Amino acid sequence: MKRENILIILSMLVLAFFLAKMFDGGSMSSGSQRTQELIYSDFKALVASGEVVNAQIVGDSLIEGFTQDGLGYRTYIPAEDPSVIDYLRLYQIPINYVPEKSLPWYLSILINWGPFLLIFGIWMVLMRRMQGGGAGGGGLFSIGRSRAK
């Protein structure tokens, strides 16, 4: 198999991986498909009315969990209200803390250096094709020219 074909296949696989990771995120960690996004004041009203069954705090700014109806909810904690844990304890709602997911070190390096390496790889392929010569044949601009003699 030619080197260019291997580079193209590798580029396609990397692109497919990034697209899969991009569309994979955003689901609740408990796996519920029925999740509603709440504004913070509606969340506090649900807590006060006794509708909230549990609360899972993800990182410093996200609360998710389930209501009495079995619906999942998700809301963001404003920076001005650090007393949300005390508010949930006041209504005796079970609280679970989950640290925010961070990227592994190798994905962080790949995301930072990936575009540069991809552009560099494409540039190298083009430079190798250009070394084939000008009008004689085999060069970058010899697309569609017959090499028959």
How far CA 119 is from CA of 2, 4, 109, 128, in Å, comes to: 19, 14, 16, 14
Confidence band, pLDDT 50/70/90 cuts, at residue 143 = low
Sequence-ordered alpha helix ranges (H) in the chain: 3-24, 40-49, 84-90, 105-130
Structure tokens at 37: 């996004």
What confidence score (pLDDT) does residue 131 get? 77
What confidence score (pLDDT) does residue 136 get? 53
Residue 73 neighbours by CB under 8 Å, 6+ apart: 35, 36, 37, 38, 43, 46, 52, 64, 65, 66, 67
Architecture of domain 32-98: 2-Layer Sandwich (3.30)
How do residues 30-75 score in pLDDT, each as one tens digit? 444 578 999 999 999 999 999 999 999 998 889 999 999 989 999 9
What confidence score (pLDDT) does residue 100 get? 86
Structure tokens at 31: 């796996």
In this structure, which amino acid lies at residue 27?
S
Q: Is the pLDDT of residue 14 over 80?
A: yes
Q: Indicate the pTM of the whole model.
A: 0.52
CATH 3.30.720.210 in the chain is located at: 32-98
Q: Is the pLDDT of residue 94 over 50?
A: yes
